[in-house]
Structure 1
Amino acid sequence: MGKLLRSLFFSLSIVWIVFFAVCSAIKSPLKDGPAAAPMAARGPIDGNYTYVCDESRFAALGLDMTDFYYCDSSAPYEVRAKDLVDRMTLSEKVMQTGDQASGVERIGLPKYNWWSEALHGVSNFGRCVFFDEVVPGATSFPTVILSAASFNQSLWKTLGQTVSTEARAMYNLGNAGLTFWSPNINVVRDPRWGRILETPGEDPHLVGLYAVNYVRGLQDVVGAENTTDLNSRPLKVSSCCKHFAAYDLDNWKGTDRVHFDARVSVQDMAETFVLPFEMCVKEGDVSSVMCSYNKINGIPSCADSRLLKQTIRGEWDLHGYIVSDCDSVEVMAIDQKWLDGSFSDYAAQALNAGMNLDCGTFNNRSLTEAVKLGKASQADLDHSLRYLYVLLMRLGFFDGIPAFASLGKDDICSAEHIELAREAARQGIVLLKNDNATLPLKSVKNIALVGPHANATDAMIGNYAGIPCYYVSPLDAFSSMGEVRYEKGCADVQCLNETYIFNAMEAAKRADATIIFAGTDLSIEAEALDRVDLLLPGYQTRLINQIADLSTGPVVLVIMSAGGVDISFARDNPKIAAILWAGYPGEQGGNAIADVIFGKYNPGGRLPITWYEADYVDMVPMTSMALRPVESLGYPGRTYRFFNGSTVYPFGYGMSYTNFSYSLSTSHRSTNINLRKLQRCRSMVYINDTFVPDCPAVLVDDLSCKESIEFKVAVKNVGRMDGSEVVVVYSSPPLGIAGTHIKKVVGFERVFVKVGGTEKVKFSLNVCKSLGIVDSTGYALLPSGSHTIKVGGDNTTSVAFPFHVNYIN
């Protein structure tokens, strides 16, 4: 990332805020969409060519391509990559280990910039993507936390496919690379974390399924998804799951991510922090994993061979490369001083641990010495480079991929993609309150649109965003539907004084309905900026209450935020009839919110995180990594799996304009597992005098795990409006087991049901995955006894049934 950006990342929060403000200013809306511009005569390689192994390109360099076996497209990628690497000197090899690989002109290898971003659309945050007169913008979809709220796996994959189409088109035009360091799949442990907007939420299974689907959307080439040799599987673009692992603190009360040592139990690592990454690699076949800044139990993640070489590369069989978070190796040497050695010691340690690419220049400066002094082997360096070049060959960097050659300007910011941005935002929006069926609004002639987000533009696209095709703010959307009086109520989201509240109150007095847009933005929660409380900033609460008191028509509150906000005052205020959470809804956010409020779309989103009450932050410091309650310190549990206190809104909460009923059918409610001679029963810790089975549990690794739980849920729409229902399945372990979860998500489906209609959803759950637990020593166990399967959330119609696991000797 370089020293300048590095200083921005790790300096005081105010510097980071200013940086984002500057970036936001650059992202000015293109009012009428991207203007047409003549296509420049350029290509992604050497300014003219679209792939490396072009005979005319070699001729222009004074080389004969037939002399270079790495350009023989009939040879296996691994053989070609070895030929390429073997042609380099040590110093030339080292110069390819940073994100700005220099290339080697004498052997026909061009430079390559590895750092592109595509978290929720193609972003110019990295070094490789840029916008200009040829590509003035790209579709900016909702931030991940809102897309996750849709609980719709097919939507997540479609988003990935669409983003990769625009990314590949931009690569063809010379405006982007092929390797995109997205998505962020860190589980949300604490509501104060500043990067919640980038993540799919607090449940490891939900996060893992988001990762699998988004990665598949980005990477898969239709027809080649199940290639036998996954190391040669062609890729549309390369995706990267980050940040591995236990990374969820940026800058909180003087503790920052580069100095933080995450003290994590083996139990929490296995069942929470590592699980989504395992799913991403094994099921998503992601082609890259990024290690994080923080230390884990004393060892920097990018220097831990157990995590990188043994787990990601070995146990999970990664088909791709491992990259550091930007300047992580330099952080080890300068900030963490982990080895108390020379720079070459740190470069060697990262390479020996299994890190293949340094986002930064530290390895470029230090790795040659490390090899010459014998601290690292040139053979390991060769292996790392081969991983990189095999990946680039799979992407068509060397040979091209004809199926994507025609993608260009017309495939960026298309009408279809912009409509998908609107649909994704609509699917994620969560209805939190709707007294007396106030929404959808009807027969409203004039509206007061007030609050700091009422005319939001850049705030809607959050961070890791590029320049959108164009913005549709709430003010734009509502103004197109009727008479609107707009008053911002606050100078900005910080809302540091009451100057603008009076005018907002006057507008509300004269309106048939008042819609208040409040919440947070990147000045409150962002990378390198964690929150210290869960309240609305400044005078926003006073603004909302005073407007509600004076309004003559119904009041609707719309919250834009990533993390939860304690709005219990609004939830309990009878003068506030309805509340929506809209996350950061992307470039089409205004249209999506208007569609929901006026009933063009029936909301069906569910909260992917718990919204805690404000005093939660006084109970536990962010630096405590424990998920389970710590009774000796009075710390409560974290996330819906371990926290049993009162909440503003629970995980999975979400209302609809219609009503649904469930009925359930299942052919069996138990499984008998015959134990063989070497399958041994394992003891567990039980609470008090709870009945202990003869065989409490068996190691999952000792079981075939072929058993499944199969059932069907009939979802009937018994209301007055067509709509979507999210059917969530939870499992709870047998009663009495100490230290395990209250419940956990084991499956979900989003289903659209017409009024009076019924749709059936079939679930087939693996018994080991769905009913298994992790004990305090890190063993995965399948307990015997009566587990509970519950379908539905706390605020929806639900059905449940017991499922028995019986071990027979």
Structure 2
Amino acid sequence: MKRVLTFLLLAVALGAVSFTPAQENAFKYPFQNPNLTIEARVNDLVSRLTLEEKVAQMLNAAPAIDRLGIPSYDWWNEVLHGVARTPYKVTVYPQAIGMAATFDTTSLQVMADYSALEGRAIYNKAIAEGKSGQRYVGLTYWTPNINIFRDPRWGRGQETYGEDPFLTAMLGRAFVRGLQGDDPKYLKAAACAKHYAVHSGPEPERHVFNAQATNYDLWDTYLPAFEELVVNAKVAGVMCAYNAFRGQPCCGSDVLMNDILRNQWQFTGYVTSDCWAIDDFFKNHKTHPDAASASADAVMHGTDIDCGTDAYKALVQAVKDGKITERMIDVSVKRLFTIRFRLGMFDPVALVKYAQTSPEVLESAPHKAHSLKMAQQSMVLLKNDKNTLPLKKNLKKIAVIGPNANNPIAVLGNYNGTPSTIVTALQGIKNKVGSGTEVVYEQATTFTKDTLLVYTNISSQLSFDGKAGVRAEYFNNRDLKGEPVATRQEPAINNAWQEGETVVGSMKAYNFSARYTTDYTASATGSITLEVEGDDGYRLLVDGKEMLNAWERNRWGAKNFKLPTKQGQKYRLVLEYVQREGKASVQLRAGNFAKTGFKALANRVKDADVLIYVGGISPQLEGEEMQVNEPGFNGGDRTSILLPRVQTEVMKALKATGKPVVFVMMTGTPIAIPWEAQNLPAIVNAWYAGQSAGTAIADVLFGDYNPAGRLPVTFYKSDSDLPPFGDYTMDNRTYRYFKGQPLYGFGHGLSYTTFQYDQLEVPKSSRVNSPVPVRVRVTNSGKLDGEEVVQLYVSKQVPGYKTPIRALKGFKRISLKRGESQVVTFELRPQDLAVISQDGSAEYEAGTVQISVGGSQPDAQSKKSRKTVEGRMALVK
């Protein structure tokens, strides 16, 4: 029988499309037959499961069902800007907000396609190595994050495509299509639109927050991107958010889940909770008394997976108690297996072309080249007075200064993988100018303080039991319990692993703990500062006394304290570490703090031809639910959008030298830089640009790439421009409703050449609910070849309706040689000209529509210089 089954599977792989009844009998179960429909196979499989087996499949870590030959599978995986958190080396692209700054759907779709290929290679490799049930090797990716970046203080805004619903929808659609592929039967990978919905901070309150939004804001701002991905892009999955919406947890929302997602949009894919969100029902929102009630309600609202907890295990008792029927459990389990069958997980490798993807695609040359291309495309030239940029390559001396100049963590953003090579800004500049130019570097300050820990190598002063180094004990649990699985001597405490990577022996970097013990012998009387940096948690004891405690979840957090010392005295250091999920790292450093003298710094670099300051902020400060104790930051969010004052003070000192100061700003969120905008000649916003960030920065600074990135978010002038963070109304938020004057507006970005617009063609009138063609001619009127992002904005005022000041409804990134012209065409969809009523419905009303097309939003200056052109059209019924 086994030989017959093998023959039949081979026949399917070679193109057989049907079986005789006798041949089909060779399959033990119908669900194993690739010739049946996926629906028939799923129905057969689920009919064979016990209630307990069904419920277990609804956890993110779904166990194997050995009696049916179903392997274990962990749904939890990420691919925000390249495959994330995998133990294998991968290509890392710019952070999502940087990719949004490209305004290029084609580039984003290619990036998603390449990432899916790398994900397939990882999945195939994991199967070959017996790791198929491990987290971060699966094919179900919980990306893209299409939440609207409504407030610049939100630390996770870096994961989004910005503040505009249309831009987010179009980029999200391109991502989904690239990731999921175009095979008529099989998904290349499964995308997941998150976090559904009305979710954008504050991070410290996300497990308890009750978002309130009007129907107008819900349908005008928060839902359009989700609707586009669900209805048109056919995204495979949706993740419901932590917070509540109108008093109900999002994963149990009548409005969001039942009415809109499942009924109005007819979504048939799977829904996963955000991780630990089901526990929030009864632990934080207090809307349910216990796990059974919460789980039953979430499933009845269409939430198929409980991520991160085992709350759904209570569903077995919930069925027995009549809180939910087994038939409702079946609906969820069928959705889940449908995705796995669509991914080809139960079919022969020869039948699924993606299952044949080779590990050679990991970090392949085309992928690395595309990472560089997107990094170049993402660079936004904010200011360039008197053609300060591009710089000449034959300068005698360049000073590169600042906390991000040589920071490999910053360029990778968050939710990232690990590439083999990272190019920082400093290295990129050195590579660009070569040995003929002296490049000097000083960090100068931290992101927020004017003191630096000057590190000392203390490895020679560490010993344990008479042997140099540190005793390391590793435990295969989070609590340092029982006997260690391995004990060994290590030269120092400096370790980093991706989740799932081998730590020691057979132990993987997943839910483990470690204890490092050593004696430090002081070389002098005085003091030394001990600093620990790690991800996730740690605590440091000195002579049995706890001196540092960051045991609870701590993302890239560094803590330090000053230890008084006596020469020759030994101090017992015990560093305990725990890893829960994601990356694992722990490092012990030592040194002494030194205050930076800004005048002295300026005096040291004043002989340079140009001073390049690389600052901003970092994913070490902003991100998801972080523990950060720095001024201006809280829980991963920002309490102020101003650039940390210490960085402005450094740049003031540098400007006083009289030498040109170029500010390269890395960030995932908008930063207010009023002094810099007024006083510095050139500013480049470089985001977190991925593994080739430094190369792209240098290419722009020295003119080998003409920048054309555009801001996908508004850069405001000050904190006073912002409404309260927790207010989810859109009044005076984003360029669509902000009534003030921004520092740099949405869509802003300069070039080393100039472009002019003319010959705008807009119909004089058009019937409502009809497509509208728009044409415009764009000319590169400058002296250099370059790229332009052509942007189309619509303004429409209708009595009795609230409308945005203007709204982006079309964009195209084009390349023009100097003197070249191109006619760019758009077709406005009927919904692009609709208005949203107070009840949230789209209405197609008559009225006058103003259409603006240009390289930015329209203003008096852009219209005068022909950088934008405008036309009017009458909509009639």
Taking structure 1 as the reference length, the TM-score comes to: 0.82
- Tell me what 1:217 maps to: 178
Query: Aligned-pair distance for 1:503?
Result: 5.5
Correspondent of 2:674 among 568, 592, 604: 568
Task: Provide, for residues 1-40 of structure 1, a one-character-per-residue CA deviation record: whole Å limited to 9, x for no partner.
Answer: xxxxxxxxxxxxxxxxxxxxxxxxxxxxxxxxxxxxxxxx
1:251-330 maps to which residues of 2 (within 5 A)? 251=203, 256-330=205-279
Distance 2:67 2:441 in 1: 63
Q: Name the counterpart of 1:470.
A: 421
Q: Which residue of 2 aligns with 1:805?
A: 875
CA distance in 2 between counterparts of 1:310 and 1:506 reads 66
Runs of 4+ in 1 over 6 A off after TM superposition: none
Equivalent residue for 2:376, pick from 390, 413, 426? 426
Partner residue of 1:646 out of 732, 741, 762 = 741
Alignment check: 8 A CA contact 1:305 1:354 kept: no
Corresponding residue for 2:345? Answer: 397
**Aligned residue number for residue 513 of structure 1:** 610
Distance in 1, matches of 2:117 and 2:227, equals 26
**Equivalent residue, structure 2, for 1:761:** 824
Shift of 1:736: 5.8
> In 2, Cα distance between the equivalents of 1:490 and 1:312?
51
- SS class of match (1:783): coil
Q: Does 1:594 align with 2:689?
A: no
* Alpha-carbon offset, residue 507 of structure 1: 4.2
How far residue 782 of structure 1 moved from its aligned partner, in angstroms, is 2.3
- Show the counterpart of 1:110: 71
Cα deviation, residue 614, structure 1: 1.5
Amino acid at match of 1:520: I
Tell me the distance in 2 between the aligned counterparts of 1:376 and 1:424.
48
Deviations 1:538-561 (A, max 9, x none): 511101111111143x22111001
Contact kept, 8 Å, 1:97 with 1:358, in 2: the verdict is yes
Q: Output aligned runs, 1:223-622, within 5 Å.
A: 224=183, 227=184, 233-251=185-203, 256-339=205-288, 341-399=289-347, 400=349, 401-442=351-392, 443-480=394-431, 481-482=433-434, 483-497=437-451, 498-499=595-596, 501-502=598-599, 504-528=601-625, 529-552=636-659, 554-573=660-679, 576-616=680-720, 620-622=723-725
Q: Which runs of 5+ in 2 are unaligned?
A: 1-8, 14-24, 132-136, 452-594, 626-635
Does 2:120 match 1:168?
Answer: yes
Shift of 1:415: 1.7
**For residue 801 of structure 1, what is the amino acid of its counterpart?**
G
Residue type at the aligned position of 2:384:
N
Cα 1:405–1:620 shift into 2, 3 Å: closer
The answer (yes or no) to whether the contact 1:508–1:551 under 8 Å persists in 2 is no
Post-superposition Cα deviations, 1:727-770, rounded to whole Å, max 9, x if no partner, equal: 0000001376563210001111011000011111111112x312
What CA distance in whole angstroms lies between the structure 2 residues aligned with 1:370 and 1:586? 46
Aligned residue for 1:183, secondary structure, equals: coil
The answer on whether the counterparts of 2:202 and 2:726 sit within 8 Å (CA) in structure 1 is no
**Are residues 548 and 440 of structure 1, via their aligned partners in 2, closer, same or farther at CA, if it must alter by over 3 Å?**
same
Contact 2:760–2:871 (Cα < 8 Å) also in 1? no
- Checking the alignment, whether the CA contact within 8 Å between 1:489 and 1:543 is kept in structure 2 is no
Instruction: Write the distance in 2 (CA, Å) between the matches of 1:525 and 1:500.
Output: 27
Q: Is the 8 A contact 1:477 1:590 kept in 2?
A: yes
Higher normalized strand content (fraction of residues): 2
User: How many correspondences in the alignment?
Assistant: 680
Is the 1:450–1:504 Cα contact (8 Å) retained in structure 2?
A: no
1:501 Cα offset (Å): 3.7
Give the AA of the match of 2:232. E
In structure 2, do the counterparts of structure 1 residues 75 and 546 end up closer, same or farther at CA, with 3 Å as the change threshold?
same
**2:731 aligned with 1:782:** no
Q: Deviations over 1:589-632 (max 9, x none)?
A: 00000000111000001100001111336x5211111102xxxx
CA distance in 2, matches of 1:777, 1:109: 47
Which has the higher mean CA deviation after the structures are superposed, 479-488 or 367-376? 479-488
For the 8 Å contact 2:109–2:177, the answer to whether it is kept is yes
Instruction: Call closer, same or farther: CA 1:550–1:267 in 2, change over 3 Å.
Output: same
Tell me the equivalent position of 2:456.
none
Where 2:644 maps in the other structure, the secondary structure is coil
Distance in 1 between the 2:26 and 2:608 partners?
A: 73
Secondary structure at the counterpart of residue 170 of structure 2: helix
Distance 2:107 2:358 in 1: 24
Q: CA deviation at 1:494?
A: 2.7
Look up the equivalent residue of 1:790 and give its one-letter code: S
Once the two structures are TM-superposed, the CA of residue 495 in structure 1 deviates from its matched residue by: 2.8
Question: Is 1:72 matched with 2:33?
Answer: yes
Q: Deviations over 1:131-151 (max 9, x none)?
A: 1xxx3x101100010110110
Q: Secondary structure at the match of 2:791?
A: strand
The code of the aligned residue for 2:612 comes to I
Secondary structure (helix, strand or coil) at the match of 1:724 reads strand
- Secondary structure of the residue that 2:810 maps to in structure 1? strand
2 CA distance for matches of 1:667 and 1:577?
Answer: 39
Number of the residue aligned with 1:624: 727
Render the CA deviation track for 1:21-64: whole Å, top value 9, x for unaligned.
xxxxxxxxxxxxxxxxxxxxxxxxxxxx99xx9xxxxxxxxxx9
Deviation at 1:103, TM superposition (A): 2.2
The question of whether the paired residues in 1 share the 8 Å contact of 2:202 and 2:725 is answered with no
Distance 1:494 1:65, change over 3 A: farther
Post-superposition Cα deviations, 1:250-283, rounded to whole Å, max 9, x if no partner, equal 33xxx51001000111111111111110011122
- The residue that corresponds to 1:9 in the other structure is none
SS for the counterpart of 1:550 is: coil
SS across alignment from 1:322: strand
The 2-side partners of 1:547 and 1:667 are apart by: 50
Q: Could you report, residue by residue, the CA deviation over 1:419-470 in whole angstroms, capped at 9, with x for unpaired residues?
A: 1111101101100111111111124232111111111211111110111231
CA contact (8 A) 1:731 1:743 kept: yes
Note if contact 1:733-1:788 (Cα within 8 Å) is conserved in structure 2: yes
Q: Paired residue for 2:161, among 200, 212, 225?
A: 200
* Cα distance in 2, alignment partners of residues 289 and 263 from structure 1: 21
- Distance in 1, Cα, partners of 2:448 & 2:363: 32
Structure 1 pair 209–781 and aligned structure 2 pair: CA distance change class (3 A): same
Output the TM-score relative to the length of structure 2. 0.75
Q: CA deviation at 1:505?
A: 1.6
Taking the aligned partners of 1:584 and 1:267, their CA distance within structure 2 comes to 34
Residue 772 of structure 1 corresponds to which residue in structure 2? Answer: 834
**Percent of aligned pairs with the same amino acid:** 35
